[in-house]
Structure 1
């Protein structure tokens, strides 16, 4: 079965007259008759009920006409859109991100992408940094937004967002913004911090905040999830260090003291494979 035969069939189904259909196809009538007969033999059905005076579609022919019309509509759509796909203007991007991205820079970035390239669809997965690293190595993500990834020659990375850390305390804690002087004031407190396994560099950055104040943190709980950390602090299970943006998106009964005068910052880095064949990823990178 060839597209040419199907075009001949659709023309005859429209004209219901072999001579008129052949003329519009710029072929001789016997050639059209032969092609329709070959098609009917291949399908094992009669597409037309015909006699010397009339030609009309059989019941099966009407169904076949409707379905083949859809095939040609899809083909025409593909022809029109394939250039968009080649240029990266139509397609999909699979994105991984840590939780804080969704209440900082990521919504604005996605809105900008949709405004410029509305035919690029994004698939979002909130994941830990370690899970994103594994997923992007397996090719399950096009781009990852994670915290302080290790250098890897296979991937390209770019810092995309930076903010201050905050000391997070229960609401009834004796420290507040007016009497806070340095991290040394919480040297004897129990801390809730991320696990080293989810990102050694990010883990070390938080430890260095305490080390710069002259102590090593005593760990009571470990979690990589910001909202879990906030609930644990609220229930007096420890204090923590967390990006200041979490202060804008929680109703937990806790206190944030922004650490403005320390060199350590909470960072989000974009990581992707520069050899990715996905043209839509290149368009997304332009937004970054």
Structure 2
């Protein structure tokens, strides 16, 4: 039994006329009759009652018609789905990200995806920079949102968001925004920083901001999670320096004060592997 046997059977079952079915299939009527006969011999049942004037389905034929309709419809649906997948309009995108990407950049991308490519699903994992790099290299992720100065040669990187730095202090800290002139005013405070595991490049930037202000920070606590850092600041365990955009989405007793008079900024970048074969990736990179 071959797929053409099922297609020929379906045509005869729908037309209940061998001549019309043969014309529809662009084959000869005797050739169609031979194909149906082969199918009946293969299955060991009679599929049609036929005389000179009428063609009717047997009980077995009527049952087979329902099954064949399902199979051929499913094959057509599969074919269309394959075309969608190959064109990057259907499938899954695996995204790694730092927590700071979830405030604006990542939600904006997901909104675009839902609007323009509604059949695309996403798998999201909050991971360190290094873990994202490794997983993209191993084809376990398609995209990553990182804070890095550079990436290995087999990856590509593009800046997607440039941000300033802000100091985070408890809401009752005596230094207010109007009197905040330099990070050097906080030289005596303890600091809560993102761990170098979060981003060694970012960690060095923070130390550089403090060095430029004339002191080395007294680092008491480190974390890779913004919420943990903000909780520690809220409880008076230190102050922190973070990307300004991180002030969105938290309702805590802390104040964000953008650091004045510094040239340093932080960039969130997207990274990917050019050899990645996921067709969805190309569509998403166009959006980004």
- Which category of TM-score, normalised to the shorter sequence, fits these structures? 0.7 to 0.9
Q: 2:147 and 2:247 mapped to 1: Cα distance?
A: 19
Normalising to structure 1: TM-score of the pair?
Answer: 0.85
Aligned partner of 1:16 in structure 2 is 16
Normalising to structure 2: TM-score of the pair?
Answer: 0.85
Gaps of 5+ in 1: none
Matches within 5 A, 1:56-95: 56-59=57-60, 61-77=61-77, 85-95=85-95
What per-residue deviation string (whole Å, max 9, x for no partner) do you get for residues 16-64 of structure 1?
344543454344444334323433454x4536263656531435x4454
Give the aligned length.
286
Note closer, same or farther for the CA distance 1:165–1:41 as it changes in structure 2 (3 Å cut).
farther
Q: 1:232 and 1:63 mapped to 2: Cα distance?
A: 70
Superposition CA RMSD, Å:
2.8
1:218 and 2:212 matched: no
Contact 2:137 2:155 in 1 (8 A): no
Matches within 5 A, 1:115-134: 115-134=115-134
Note closer, same or farther for the CA distance 1:287–1:21 as it changes in structure 2 (3 Å cut).
closer
Q: 2:63 and 2:226 mapped to 1: Cα distance?
A: 57
Q: 1:235 and 1:223 mapped to 2: Cα distance?
A: 15
CA-CA distance at 1:287 after TM superposition: 1.9
Larger deviation: 79-88 or 182-191? 79-88
Aligned partner of 2:45 in structure 1 is 46
Aligned partner of 1:232 in structure 2 is 232
Aligned partner of 1:271 in structure 2 is 271
Q: 1:177 and 1:209 mapped to 2: Cα distance?
A: 18
SS at match of 2:8: helix
SS at match of 1:237: coil
Matches within 5 A, 1:48-197: 48=47, 50=49, 52=51, 55-59=56-60, 61-77=61-77, 85-148=85-148, 150-197=150-197
